[in-house]
Amino acid sequence: MSQANRIAVIPGDGIGPEVVAVAIRCLDLLRQQNDLDISWTELPWPSHAWHERHGESMPADALEQLQGFDAILLGALGDPGPRDNPERYLLPDSVSLAPLLQMRKGFDQWVCERPARLLPGARQYLADPRAKDVDMLVIRENSEGEYVGQGGRLRQGSADEVATQMEVFTRRGTERIIRYGFEQARLRAIERANRDEVRTFQTLTGETHASQVCLITKRNALRYWGDMYSEVFAEVAQHYPDVATHHELVDAACMKFVQCPWAFDVVVASNLQGDILTDLAAVLSGGMGVAPSCNLNPDNPDMPSMFEPTHGSAPDIAGQQRADPTAMLFTTARMLTWLGRTDAALAQAGQQLFEAVAADLAHAPETARGTNTIGEAICQRLNNKG
Ligand code: IPM
Ligand code: MN
């Protein structure tokens, strides 16, 4: 086996192991069919189970171990469930979810890409028929902002307690995420043209363009970073005269995501505002069961990117074969496309997996299916094509 494309697989907690098992079945099948140059190693950490045995969520050298891989595929971290078992080994969220943030930060995964596209067969929550055309890419800044974890508590527990939570925004961090947004907008316009799909976006001066970037801030109240984001956005936009620009305040954006979500193309948001907006965007695309996500380091090949669905460990349905593996599989497809930047067979396999999962969604029976049953149906589709 060559050294290329080594994947660290982290099943994690709750429904994580169930949906990851399906992803591995699909990966195994695709590898056999296409002779793919990938290998994977399943890691028992981070997880509650590991913490229960070792007193920590993951080994002290976890990041060093992970750095030897080309990508990380993660199921979910959090409450392991089942929720009706009061005896279960439980950790505070700030402990069990900390490894997620450590990986994002440690590997400088500064882009969090969360596409929200309502595919045929997915549940349409909004009554307006135009909501079937939702197709946006939310790009969440993933390395700084509200998530820097700086601050503290003074005089803890006393009536005079003071808590501070810092937000840190750098010009460098701002510029790279905004530039990434414009690049994605361009790519999406090309992809749409390739499938003869037309979308148009108007600028304030009335010109129409084939793609758009909408910047989200709360600059009417949080003016320092809001103003810096707006200035950098205007500067970067000059290099992309083919892309329409737009700005929304985050509260208004929440309203418009519900009122007219089809009007958005690429959306760039800060770490926290992007976190909140992408739960809403996930629902617009059919719910948490279908919403993929990835944490990317686009410029340092020595740092692995991490692929995890937007959903969490879903302790209410964990261990019952009730989790929808669709989000995990779309996420796995995105991982293959990502690794496929330098390997056409992997890119092709990513597309194949995406299409099989989308076809399953489009033709799913009315009756509820279990996690493995959905996995089997998708493997069947992969087999018929292969
Ligand atoms: C997400 C999650 C995480 C986040 C939590 C679990 C720390 O909500 O990936 O969206 O806030 O980033
Ligand atoms: Mn979230």
Q: What is the model's pTM?
A: 0.97
Nearest alpha carbon, ligand 1 atom 6: 97
Give the 3-state secondary structure of residue 358: helix
Check pocket membership of 30 for ligand 1, CB cut-off 6 A. no
Give all domains of the chain, ordered by start, each with its CATH number.
Answer: 1-115+289-386 (3.40.718.10), 124-285 (3.40.718.10)
Q: Is the bond leading into 46 cis (omega within 30 degrees of zero)?
A: yes
Nearest alpha carbon, ligand 1 atom 10: 275
Q: What's the rounded Cα separation, in Å, for the pair 139 and 187?
A: 14
Phi then psi dihedrals of residue 50, to 5 deg: -65, -40
Residue 1 has pLDDT above 80, yes or no: no
Phi then psi dihedrals of residue 245, to 5 deg: -120, 155
Tell which residue, 108, 135, 106, has the closest CA to residue 119.
135
What does the chain come to in residues? 386
pLDDT tens, residue by residue, 150-190: 999 999 999 999 999 999 999 999 999 999 999 999 999 99
How many of the other CB atoms lie within 10 Å of CB of 33? 14
Atom of ligand 1 nearest to the CA of 271: 12
Q: Terminus-to-terminus CA distance in the chain, angstroms?
A: 23
Check pocket membership of 138 for ligand 1, CB cut-off 6 A. no
Give the 3-state secondary structure of residue 182: helix
Average pLDDT, the chain: 97
pLDDT tens, residue by residue, 236-254: 999 999 999 999 999 999 9
Band of residue 57 on the pLDDT scale cut at 50, 70, 90: very high
Residue for token digits 């080309």? 70
